[in-house]
A and B are shown apart, each in its own frame.
Chain A
Amino acid sequence: MPIPSSLVTLLVGMALVLSGLWVGYNVNLLPLDASANAPVYDSLFRVLFSIGTILFVGIVGLVLFSLWRFRRRAGDHTDGLAIEGNLLLEIVWTAIPAIVVLFVGIYSYDIYERMGGMSSLNDHAAMHRMPPPETIEASVMVADASTVSGGGTESSPRVWGGIGTAAGEANVLPVEVTAMQFAFIFHYPEGDITSGELHVPNGRPVELRMKANDVIHAFWVPQFRLKQDVIPGQPTVLTFTPTKAGSYPIICAELCGPYHGGMRSTVVVHEPDAYEAWFQKNSPLTATVASAPGNPTA
């Protein structure tokens, strides 16, 4: 007895979904995750990769099957079926993609909020309404902007875009970033250090206050899954919390001139002790004054 085609279709569909999920969760295309929001990003990536695999393999499978199954035999000059449409089918394949993109949209909104993207950067009214920062429970949630109030004071210049701002948080490390053709300059207001490399302690939120001197640049650390344009005339902010010690590339991702490809730097994530040592060694303030002002020990 032949297997009913509806059953075959169901089994093929299930196998497709399962293999898509397997591929999404087991094939790793991403670099090391070294910031608090990188695992959050990666979970979004896995979902998108799974859905994408299912759709792509399914559609390619249908094309290949059709090309083989319905190929024109030699000498056959007749027509195919005169099917001009089917309202039910049309409704189904309008509804399914609509539901999928709605799900993806809501899910990525959630991810974006967890990454701190929805925090109001310049909405002062919202900032005042916000309750005081709550205690942070999970270490992964350090960068969660919902626990962090909006940044800047009433007199601060308008900040355009970026991911989150941790100004309300007690131990945030502020770093001023200046991008120019063709380098990043990092300045630590706490210790008055100026550096060509970004040195940060593991586990502590860092707030980059970025400005550009000449043309648009972009600050990108692939291992942090973060990127923000550095725009002349408009300060931008980028907040992240490194979670793995190591050295990662900082890459300029916006065409900025002939040496754009060479505009790279390094972010060094130290363990807190090593960072403290680096800080003490390089700060012109701590070189003469024994106690570094406002410099918390980890």
Chain B
Amino acid sequence: MTVASPNDFQESLQPQGWLRYFSFSLDHKVIGLQYLVTGFIFYFIGGALAGVIRAELASPISDFVGRETYNEVLTLHGTVMIFLWIVPVVNGAFGNYLIPFYVGARDMAFPRLNAVAFWMIPPAGILLIGSYFITGAAQSGWTAYPPLSITTPALGQVVWIVSVLLLGGSSIFGGINFIATVLKLRRPGLKLMQLPMYCWAMLGTSILVVLSTPVLAGTLLLLSFDIVAHTGFFNPAMGGNVVVYQHLFWFYSHPAVYIMVLPAFGLVSEILPIHSRKPLFGYTTMVYSILAIVVLGLVVWAHHMFTSGTPPWMRLFFTIATSFIAVPTGIKFFNWLATLWGGKLALNSAMLFSCAFIVNFVFGGITGVALAQVPFDIHVHDTYFVVGHFHYIVYGGTVFVIFASIYHWYPKFTGRMLNEDLGRLHFLLTFLGFNLCFAPQHWLGLNGMPRRVAEYDPSFTTLNQISSVGALLMAISSLPFLYNVLVSAFRGEEAGDNPWNALTPEWLTSSPPPVENWIGEAPLVEHPYGYGVEEDTLSLEAATGRDLWGGAGRR
């Protein structure tokens, strides 16, 4: 089997130095960083859009932007943050950078497909953002429910569909590539159950991507036929059914939540053991719980539709299925807690963001189990309670992990350390701002504020203003971060090859790594989490509860 590699291009055609990052490079590390930087550009665009929303909601009347503009902004905010920031970064960026190291390969299985997948993103993003200035953006929310998406201005909606189709295609290409790489490109001698946890997370995520994204693509194609060719798939005036669209849409878009959080689970599983100096607790159960989340994640979509026209049995089935996702997810969290227990925890930025992820995600998970209960959901569905809930999952969960990962892998990307003081300042501002912004929204939802509104009951003004202040803090928190990553690339402390003294394979080469990853053979890492002092180890059979709870081996 021949594998295309970056060297397949003639030397003269392959740009060197910084120009590589603007080229059709086949190097998985270049592509990973292309994803990462592109993702951050869209993160700041999406953040600015969130700023518009919070500025509008600082007062109870619609006064900051026009009503149609407001709907365009909230549609763009959702679409940009999901399809151009979180999905490409936790999958594309870290997946491309890390997976070949973890499996002991010199590149991804399909390097050209990989580059194609990345280069579909900038045009899709430019199309989406550009639609606001040229045709007017879509106004029907990131869910694009018909008939609203059929009756709002057509051109913006069609551009939105084309953009999401491109991004979905990119995601599918990436998913195929990850599955092939993890399953077929492992270094000889490396067993599946020896892979770092992020490989398993990406394997599970990619299975979800490949199974569910085509359904979204097909649905959006039908929707575009309804808009352009006046077919009647989802148009009730022509006998179409709007609830069918919701089923098809959520068949992708609920697994999309796991496409956004499973890779984050994987990344945290890499970060925690290294900074705790302990093995990852319960490797096998972690693997099985990922697979359980993948299977269950495919059969819970209708919990987004409890107030739509769904029959009672369906509401009941999806309540139970959704509740049970809490079990494998809970296993993962308990295993992380056990990983921390008895470790030697470095309280650096990567660790702080990871622990804050646990706290935020547990909060979002608890409100999630509550939301899974039909009677509970019927009151708070489509309210700010849900807005608060999913921001705790995708921001408090995934985005916190992205920041933890930047602090953790920046030395690998650049060979230089980030400034820890600025990192902790960034953490503090982000954590405070995030909770200030989203915690009050749960109360607002319970007490009568629906989502996606530009105006609201004046009695909710104070809490909305607190929420807006939180959003401002989050915006400010990105300043020390930006300064840190930009300046440290040139003036940061030299990191050396393995500043964290880690055992996972990406640290067993130079930082930044050479093209094709290793000088000579890839190392065989059979124990990626083999930390721990053997002489301190107690026999678990002989250990008493007191030894375990008291941090055994310390005394």
User: Would you call B242 and A232 a contact (CB within 8 A)?
Assistant: yes
Q: Is A48 an interface residue (CB 8 A)?
A: yes
* The one of A115, A222, A260 that contacts B448, using a Cβ cutoff of 8 Å: A222
Contact of B446 among A4, A29, A55, A85 (CB under 8 A): A29
**Contact partners of A31 in chain B: CB under 8 A:** 446-448
Give 1 or 0 for each of A115-146: 1 = CB within 8 Å of chain B CB. 10111111000000000000000000000000
Please state if A81 and B367 are interface contacts (CB–CB under 8 Å).
no
B interface bracket (residues with beta carbon within 8 Å of A): 35 or more
User: Given A55-B366, A63-B337, A63-B355 in contact, is the A234-B330 Cβ separation under 8 Å?
Assistant: no
CB atoms of B68 and A63 under 8 A apart: no
A260 to B62, CA, bound (A): 11
Within 142-167 of B, Cβ neighbours of A (below 8 Å) are at 145, 147-148, 151-152
- A55-B362, A260-B453 known; A231 and B308 CB under 8 Å? yes
A183 within 8 A of B: no
Scoring A residues 192 to 220 as 1 if CB is less than 8 Å from chain B, else 0, what string do you get?
Answer: 00000000000000000000001110101
- Cβ of A259: which chain B residues have Cβ within 8 Å of it? 67
What is the 8 Å Cβ interface bit string for chain B, positions 239-254, against chain A (1 contact, 0 not)?
A: 1111100000000000
Are A220 and B552 in contact, CB atoms less than 8 angstroms apart? no
* Interface: A291 (CB within 8 A): no
Residues of B within 8 Å of A214, CB to CB, are 147, 151
Contact of B382 among A29, A109, A254 (CB under 8 A): A254
List B330-347 residues whose CB lies under 8 Å from chain A: 330-331, 333-335, 337-338, 340-347
Asked whether B145 lies within 8 Å of A216 as measured between CB atoms, the reply is yes
Q: Is the CB of B342 within 8 A of A41?
A: no
Q: Is the CB of A112 within 8 A of B340?
A: no
State whether B537 touches A82 (Cβ < 8 A). Answer: yes
Verify if A154 is at the interface (C-beta below 8 Å from B). no
Segment with Cβ contacts to B, from A88-96, A169-177, A275-283: A88-96
A249 in contact (CB, < 8 A) = yes
- With A80-B278, A89-B338, A117-B312 as given contacts, are A52 and B145 in contact (CB-CB < 8 Å)? no
Known contacts: A86-B540, A105-B373, A253-B450. The answer to whether A215 contacts B342 by CB under 8 A is no
**Contact code string A48-81 (vs B, CB < 8 Å = 1, else 0):** 1001100110011011001101111100111111
CB<8 Å pairs between A and B, sample of 24: A9-B549, A59-B333, A62-B337, A66-B343, A70-B276, A70-B341, A78-B533, A79-B278, A80-B278, A81-B537, A82-B278, A84-B280, A85-B282, A94-B331, A214-B147, A220-B383, A234-B242, A251-B448, A251-B450, A255-B141, A256-B148, A260-B453, A260-B454, A262-B455
Pairs of residues from A and B, 8 with the lowest C-beta to C-beta distance, nearest first: A82-B532, A233-B236, A160-B309, A261-B453, A80-B343, A258-B67, A222-B448, A108-B373
